[in-house]
Chains A and B, each alone.
Chain A
């Protein structure tokens, strides 16, 4: 097939295939294409190439990305990440939902920070509980680091299960023993517990009171 000699028109074929030419120019070019076998073939090639190249790009979860971007840029805080594998960021089709699953957006450093605050909160609970009289709610002694210090107070048996206050001390100990060894799932469950505790105990809530997820304004 002979090449089209009108290079200026040929040059616009990809824009015609793309649909970005102004209507008048597109009409003029289509009139040429209708009379030019070379341009007809080239336009057909361009249309199929365009489809193939577009198809190789993953369909993004654009709503989730938009939420992360607005969260990161409106608060000046570290970028929240789409966590691959946790909630697939690449979806077969675009979604109209603007609410991403919350757990996908909790950054690891926030989980770690929240978990370490949980330690503080947990260890404080025995002191804060109104029903904790001095002789039934001892300090959780095992958390004291270093050599055992002889207490001036004759501490009651701290190992008696019914004396150890609820969740607090025991959970706090687990975290204190090896926060870095915890799995994501464990950290997230700690985070959820923290949210429960938050309802009753207020301990340095600054970093936690900030929404982890930006409220989507919608379009």
Chain B
């Protein structure tokens, strides 16, 4: 199971940040090792497919460049997710500009996510993928942060810029829709 300690080791993140401020580059390396794969999962949940390594790298570079503005009232991982999400939105915006496309609506975003299903070899995995693809982008984001990252609603709310209560509702709606999809198949 990936990195189960992620939400109980904030003190260690804080210590590493302090070490990094003191000039210890190994602290930065440790933080990258701790959070990179979670950022990869998060980027994938946002529908990103290509250049995730570059995206993760850029996220860390931005983070270290503005570490002074990091508030310890949220977890470092939450903060990294918000930076990553901003970069993803920037990417999508510039991609859209490049293609001179109309504003992507939710339907487009779902289609974009759904298009990844060709990658899925296993039938069971394919069913899960299709079920998740039917969610709205917001439901999917909340759901994946809850399920794959084990995040508390308070942290999820910071990433999706919503409230804890709303995130709870999004999670349960998503779970209900996924169960329905899985039993329909």
Tell me the A residues contacting B by CB distance below 8 Å: 11, 14-15, 17-20, 22, 42, 45-46, 48-50, 52-70, 72-74, 79, 81-82, 84, 89-90, 98, 214, 216-219
Contacts A45-B182, A52-B128, A69-B61; is A18 near B148 (CB within 8 Å)? yes
**Docked pose: A47 CA to B178 CA in angstroms:** 13
Q: Is the CB of A84 within 8 A of B51?
A: yes
Minimum CB–CB distance from A215 to chain B (whole Å) comes to 9
Q: Cβ of B147 and Cβ of A65 under 8 Å apart?
A: no
25 A-B pairs, CB-CB below 8 angstroms? A14-B146, A17-B150, A18-B4, A19-B1, A20-B8, A50-B147, A53-B41, A54-B2, A55-B125, A57-B37, A57-B44, A58-B40, A58-B44, A64-B53, A65-B60, A68-B57, A73-B64, A79-B57, A84-B51, A84-B54, A90-B52, A98-B29, A214-B25, A217-B24, A218-B29
Report the minimal beta-carbon distance from A121 to chain B, rounded to whole angstroms: 32
Identify 4 new A-B residue pairs, CB closer than 8 A, beyond the known A46-B147, A56-B44, A56-B116.
A18-B150, A62-B32, A68-B57, A73-B61
Docked-complex contact B28 and A53, CB < 8 angstroms: no
Residues from chain B with a CB closer than 8 A to the CB of A61 are 53
Instruction: Give the A-binding residues of B (Cβ under 8 A).
Output: 1-2, 4, 6-8, 24-26, 28-30, 32-33, 36-37, 40-41, 43-45, 51-54, 56-58, 60-61, 64-65, 116, 119, 124-125, 128-129, 132, 144, 146-150, 152, 168, 171-172, 175, 178-179, 182
Q: Which of B6, B36, B41, B178 contacts A65 (CB 8 A)?
A: B36
- Check if B124 sits within 8 Å of A48, measured CB to CB: yes
Report the Cα distance A56→B52, complex, angstroms.
Answer: 12
Q: In the assembled complex, which residues on chain A have CB atoms less than 8 Å from the CB atom of B147? A: 14, 17-18, 46, 49-50, 53
CA distance A45 to B37 in the complex (A): 23
How would you classify the secondary structure of chain B's contact residues: helix, strand, loop or mixed? helix
Please determine whether A53 and B148 come into contact, CB atoms closer than 8 angstroms: yes
Q: Is the pair B125, A79 in contact by a Cβ cutoff of 8 Å?
A: no
- Is there an interface contact between A49 and B128, defined as CB atoms closer than 8 Å? yes
Beyond A57-B52, A65-B60, is A73–B65 a contact (Cβ under 8 Å)? yes
* Complex interface: chain A residues within 8 A of B36 (CB): 60, 62, 65-66
**Which residue of chain B lies nearest to A20 when distances are taken between CB atoms in the complex?**
B150
Complex-state Cα separation, A44 to B116, whole angstroms: 24
Cα-based distance from A98 to B28 in the complex (angstroms): 14
* Neighbour of B26 across the interface among A17, A52, A217, CB < 8 A: A217
Complex contact B150–A19 (CB within 8 A): yes
Complex Cα distance A48/B52, Å? Answer: 23
Give, as a whole number of angstroms, the nearest-CB distance from A126 to chain B. Answer: 43
Task: Given A65-B32, A66-B29, A218-B26, check contact A54 B148 (CB 8 Å).
Answer: yes
Chain A residues near B8: list those with CB within 8 A.
Answer: 20, 22
Given A20-B4, A68-B57, A74-B25, also A62-B132 (CB < 8 A): no
